[in-house]
Each structure stands twice: as C-alpha cells, then as structure tokens.
C-alpha cells in the first residue's frame, strides 16, 4: 500500500536574490483540505504556469527523493521540490497519465509531468538546475482533483493504474522542447485523460499533418 508521507503548504515569499513572489518553499503540515483547485492555504503566485484544474496538485515520490539523495550525498526532506503531496510506495518514473491516487475521501488523477523553471532553480540555489532536473527525468506528477476532501499525513494511499494506454510522466518529460513528436505517440497520449493544454497542442499538430 502506498502512503502519504507528507503534506506541504507554501506561503507567498521571496527567495533571496530572486525577485518574483513564489509559493515553492513548502512547510509540512499534519492535515489539509484538498480542494478543486489545490490545497487550501497553499500560495500559487504564477497562475500562467501553475495551478488550474489540470494542475491542481503536484505530487512527488519518495523513491525519486532517494535517487536525488544519492546524487546530493545527503537526505532531502519532503517538500523540498515544492510538491503539495509526497507519496511513498510507488515508482515515480512509472506513473502514467490517468493513474489515480485515493486518500481518505479525496481522489486525484494524473494529468501531466512537472517542467522545471527558473523559480525551481532559484529554490535549489543552482543556476544549472533546470537542465539537471530534466536530465534526471524524475519529474513527479501534476494531478486534477476528481473528489475533494481532507487528508492527513501518514494515511494510506490507494494507487489505481490507468487501464488504457500507458503514457508515463517520464516519457512526456523526455519530449520537453522537442520540435518533432512521433504522431503515434501523440495518438497514444490523446487516448488518456492528459491535461487540456497538451491535448489541444497534440490535436493541432496531428491536424496539420493532413
């Protein structure tokens, strides 16, 4: 059984030396309410690139943190990567679009992967972090909220793999910045409940081929 290891909330604040306000610096809390557009009380400062119904909750995985701990040579506390929920007991890189996580009354559905940005690099204090995170291909997963509800750190998480086409978050991340994408891959992705922004992009690209 997977487990909700940490719930993480961020307040709007400045990273030293970085001008924009951000909610990426998270603090673990014991309980929180998952609402349709995210965790209650969590700051989302850049709504152009974060938040919304298709990116309401960001999840990172304990096995990926263990991988990074080996890279850094030290342990990393949950919430360091700005995720709302830290989940253990599943393999992060194999999470696919349409997979679901049930915790208490709440139900989440994976929609996309996280794309690293300069705010993330500033949070990590590493100007090369965007490239390093992308190269590692351990992106975590954005989720939409199918059913809101209160969650508590330590509770069991029911993992429900998507029964249709499996398009993993790591497959999608590997295509970030690609000018050409295999039409067969785009058709596979369109058979999943992928986020609407990417659905529109893939449908538009496929339509241009004919």
Q: Output the pLDDT for position 210.
A: 75
Phi-psi region of 208 (alpha: psi -120 to 50; beta: other; left: phi over 0): alpha
Residues 66 and 74: their CA atoms lie apart, in Å, by: 9
Q: Residue 139: in which H helix or E strand, if any?
A: none
Q: Output the pLDDT for position 143.
A: 98
Q: Output the pLDDT for position 130.
A: 97
Tens-place pLDDT, residues 28-66: 999 999 999 999 999 987 777 778 999 999 999 999 999
Tens-place pLDDT, residues 197-206: 999 999 999 9
Q: Output the pLDDT for position 205.
A: 94
Tens-place pLDDT, residues 174-188: 999 898 999 999 999
Q: Output the pLDDT for position 50.
A: 79
Which pair of structure tokens corresponds to residue 193? 């409940």
Rounded to the nearest integer, the mean pLDDT of the chain is 95
Residues 111 and 141: their CA atoms lie apart, in Å, by: 7
Q: Residue 172: in which H helix or E strand, if any?
A: helix 169-173
Q: Which residue has the higher pLDDT, 137 or 51?
A: 137
Residue 163 above 80 pLDDT? yes
Q: Output the pLDDT for position 35.
A: 98
Q: Output the pLDDT for position 128.
A: 96
Tens-place pLDDT, residues 86-119: 999 999 999 999 999 999 999 999 999 999 999 9
Specify the pTM.
0.96
Q: Output the pLDDT for position 92.
A: 97
Q: Output the pLDDT for position 46.
A: 74
Residues 113 and 61: their CA atoms lie apart, in Å, by: 12
Residues 42 and 25: their CA atoms lie apart, in Å, by: 10
Q: Output the pLDDT for position 17.
A: 87
Pick from 146, 210, 199, 145: nearest CA to 172: 199
């Amino acid at each position: 059984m997977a487990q909700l290891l940490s719930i993480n909330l961020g307040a709007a604040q400045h990273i030293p030396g970085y001008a924009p306000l951000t909610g990426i610096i998270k603090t673990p809390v014991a309980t929180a309410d998952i609402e349709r557009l995210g965790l209650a009380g969590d700051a989302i400062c850049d709504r152009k690139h974060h938040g919304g119904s298709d990116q309401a909750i960001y999840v990172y995985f304990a096995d990926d943190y263990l991988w990074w701990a080996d890279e850094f040579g030290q342990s990393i506390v949950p919430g360091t990567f700005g995720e709302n929920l830290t989940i253990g007991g599943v393999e992060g890189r194999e999470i696919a679009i349409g997979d679901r996580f049930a915790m208490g009354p709440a139900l989440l559905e994976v929609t996309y992967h996280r794309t690293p940005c300069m705010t993330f690099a500033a949070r990590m204090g590493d100007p090369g972090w965007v490239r390093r995170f992308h190269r590692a291909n351990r992106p975590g997963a954005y989720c939409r909220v199918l059913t809101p509800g209160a969650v508590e750190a330590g509770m069991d998480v029911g993992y429900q793999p998507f029964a249709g086409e499996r398009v993993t978050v790591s497959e999608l991340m590997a295509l970030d910045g690609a000018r050409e994408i295999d039409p067969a891959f785009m058709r596979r992705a369109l058979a999943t409940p992928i986020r609407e922004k990417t659905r529109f992009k893939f449908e538009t690209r496929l339509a241009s081929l004919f």
